Chain A
Amino acid sequence: MKENKETKLKIEQLEKKAEELENNWKRALADYKNLEKRVEEDRENWVLFANEGLIKKLLPIADNLEKLAEHFNDKGADLIVKELRNVLQEFGVEEIKTDGSEFDPMKMEAIEMVKGERNKVVETISKGYMLKDKLIRPAVVKVGNGETLNN
């Protein structure tokens, strides 16, 4: 009688243990499947965005070079800027169009409100860039507050 009770208890314990282990196994399996999927995704992104770090570091230099070319009004400098732009474009870098367009918080960052047409970009402080449909740097812009320039 006593032995029976003990056996029953043992079975219950083992069943509980088996259930726990099965759950853990399922969880581990799900984690593994997710990991597999993510590794695949990461690999794709790795190919697409491997240059992102380097490009991000080059952008401020491109900005400065552009400013310099503007300042000097020199043909040679203009050529260098053009060359650099072409290289960036070749690697999938695209400039975000801002001047005169509607302010878009998904791609632009507003730093000031100035006189001008409401919710339109009045001035671009620094250019924004997309890398293959991914925003790598938002454009920094001044946005119109609805007051016209005359008053």
Chain B
Amino acid sequence: MSKIIGIDLGTTNSVVAIMEAGSPKVIHNSEGTNTTPSVVVPDQNLVGIPAKRQQIVNPKNTIFSIKRLMGRKYTDPEVQELKKTLPYEIVATPNGLAGVEVEGKVYTPQEISAKILAKLKAEAEKFTGTTITDAVITVPRLF
């Protein structure tokens, strides 16, 4: 019987946990910490702490706080405000929503978040030794 994991997809950090004998247990990542920074380098498939470690030398391609763009239109005043402060390129995706451009390729916030979720799922699979097929993901308060 496959386990269902619970993921807190945060703006800054994300956490994955499973229920074990009736109580939740946080799964630590391969770097040994309970929380994984929600930082992604999409073209190198770096997620979490390693992505954060190279942020300074690779600011244009290191995506963080992607949740703030999630579901927002490119023309949204908040997106335009973020565009002024964030080091990476914010662009409009074909459907008018905000996305990010890394090394000439456009990613939607969903694609970036998917890389974080995939990493957490992989950590959970390593921890439980099973294939995880179901997950519960937190819904942000402001959505």
With A31-B20, A31-B21: A143-B57 Cβ-Cβ less than 8 Å? yes
With A30-B1, A34-B20, A135-B31: A110-B57 Cβ-Cβ less than 8 Å? yes
Within 8 A of A (CB), among B94-143: 128-129
Q: Does residue B50 face the partner (Cβ distance < 8 Å to A)?
A: yes
Which chain B residue shows the least CB distance to A145? B57
Of the 9-residue stretches A11-19, A57-65, A111-119, which lies at the interface with chain B?
A: A111-119
Which residues of chain B are near A108, meaning CB under 8 Å?
53
Docked complex Cα distance between A114 and B7 (Å): 38
Q: Does residue B46 face the partner (Cβ distance < 8 Å to A)?
A: yes
Q: Which residues of chain A have a CB within 8 Å of any CB of chain B?
A: 26-28, 30-31, 34-35, 37, 103, 105-106, 108-113, 119, 135, 138, 143, 145
Q: Which 4 residue pairs across A and B have the least CB separation, nearest first?
A: A105-B54, A109-B53, A105-B50, A110-B57
Which residues of chain B are near A31, meaning CB under 8 Å?
20-21
Q: Choose one: B1, B21, B31, B54; the contact of A110 (CB below 8 Å).
A: B54
With A34-B20, A34-B128, A135-B31: A103-B1 Cβ-Cβ less than 8 Å? no
Docked complex Cα distance between A54 and B46 (Å): 30
Which chain B residue shows the least CB distance to A143? B57
Encoded as 1 (CB less than 8 Å from any A CB) or 0, chain B from 48 to 83 comes to: 001101111100000000000000000000000000
Interface Cβ pair total, 8 Å cutoff: 37
Interface size on B, residues (CB 8 A): 15
For the complex with contacts A34-B129, A105-B53, A105-B54, 20 further pairs of A-B residues with Cβ separation under 8 Å are A26-B1, A30-B3, A31-B20, A34-B128, A35-B20, A37-B129, A105-B46, A105-B51, A106-B50, A108-B53, A109-B53, A110-B53, A110-B54, A110-B55, A110-B57, A111-B56, A112-B56, A113-B56, A113-B57, A135-B31
Q: Choose one: B21, B51, B56; the contact of A28 (CB below 8 Å).
A: B21
With A26-B1, A27-B1, A34-B20: A110-B129 Cβ-Cβ less than 8 Å? no
Docked complex Cα distance between A35 and B57 (Å): 41
Which residues of chain B are near A138, meaning CB under 8 Å?
53
Docked complex Cα distance between A110 and B57 (Å): 7
Q: Choose one: A103, A112, A145; the contact of B54 (CB below 8 Å).
A: A103
16 contacts across the A-B interface (CB closer than 8 A): A26-B1, A27-B1, A30-B1, A31-B21, A34-B20, A35-B20, A103-B54, A105-B46, A110-B54, A110-B57, A113-B57, A135-B31, A138-B53, A143-B56, A143-B57, A145-B57
Which residues of chain A are near B46, meaning CB under 8 Å?
105
Docked complex Cα distance between A105 and B50 (Å): 5
**Most chain-B CB neighbours within 10 Å: which of A109, A111, A113?**
A109
